[in-house]
Amino acid sequence: MYHLTRSPAAGIQTPVTKIKGLCGHAIDLPALLDATAGNAAGSSAMLYARCGVCGEGTEMRLANGGVTVGYSYFGGSLHFEPMERYPVKGLKVTASDPDDLEVVLGGRRWRFAVDTPSRHRFVVFDNAFAVGRALAALEFERLSVVVEAVERGAERIAPDPELVVRAGDFLHLRGPAPALTRAWHHMNDGGGRGAA
Ligand SMILES: [Zn+2]
């Protein structure tokens, strides 16, 4: 369907729909969109891909005509630190209604709704409140957020309540977008304010 090849006859490059993950392995964009639509955040246009080869995670942000690979973090609001940009011809990203997102690529269309529970992957900073604490002690459920996995290096660990969080881990959390924001503040400063 999509190929990362040149057409030798015409010398025209067909749409590039594979981008390089942070680990260096290829990520197939349509396959990622298929897997992500329905449980990703809307207007942020950020996707997370777990490498099928080595297991490492890559975050990316979609935009018209290209994908930027990098790291996201919260600093009051969501920020994205770009590492590398890949042009993707024909990629169209439209925000609507007011936070939903529509992605068009190669004649296909994906819809991301912000009101459905979304997933996000949060890095654990060295000085975060969460460091050295067991998942059970962090009480994410009080914030209406579910810990789906803990990513440690290329390892994806089941969220055992006794598991102690380390600096450099990534927590994979699921919940409504505002709850995810509260969970981020909670894991960093332990405030846990505004528990829903
Ligand atoms: Zn990889």
Report which residue type is found at 123.
V
**Per-residue pLDDT, 46:** 77
User: What does pTM read for this prediction?
Assistant: 0.58
Q: Which residues of the chain have pLDDT under 70?
A: 1-16, 37-44, 74-78, 97-99, 113-117, 191-196
Question: Ligand 1 centroid vs 135 CA: distance in angstroms?
Answer: 27
Write the CB contacts of 103 (distance below 8 Å, at least 6 apart in sequence).
33, 45, 62, 91, 92, 93, 94, 109, 110, 111, 112
pLDDT value of residue 164: 98
Distance CA 54, CA 113 (A): 30
Q: What are the pLDDT digits (tens) for 93-116?
A: 987 766 678 899 988 998 876 555
Domain boundaries of the chain, sorted by first residue: 18-112, 118-189
Q: How far is the CA of 165 from the centre of ligand 1 (A)?
A: 24
Radius of gyration of the chain (CA): 18
Q: pLDDT value at position 15?
A: 56
The whole-number pLDDT of residue 78 equals 66
Residue identified by tokens 């919940």 is 175
State the distance from the centre of ligand 1 to the C-alpha of 23, rounded, in angstroms: 5
Could you tell me the fold of the domain covering 118-189? Alpha-Beta Plaits (3.30.70)
Residue 26 CA, chain-centre distance (Å), reads 16
Which residue in 42, 19, 142 sits closest to 91, CA to CA? 19
Predicted local confidence at residue 68, as pLDDT: 93
CA of 56 to the centre of ligand 1 (A): 5
Ligand 1 centroid distance, CA of 10 (Å)? 32
Distance 161 CA to ligand 1 centre (A): 28
Report the candidate in 52, 53, 47, 59 with the shortest Cα–Cα distance to residue 22.
Answer: 59
Ligand 1 center to 57 CA (angstroms): 8
Q: How far is the CA of 153 from the centre of ligand 1 (A)?
A: 12
**Count of all residues that appear for the chain in the document:** 196
Give CA angle at 52 (47, 56), nearest 5°: 65
Q: Distance, CA 183 to ligand 1 centroid (Å)?
A: 28
Ligand 1 centroid, distance to 148 Cα (angstroms): 21
Residue 51 C-alpha to ligand 1 middle, in angstroms?
Answer: 5
Per-residue pLDDT, 191: 66
Judge whether 183 and 192 are in contact, CB under 8 Å.
no
Residue 151 CA, ligand 1 centroid: distance in Å? 14
For residue 29, the SS3 value is: helix
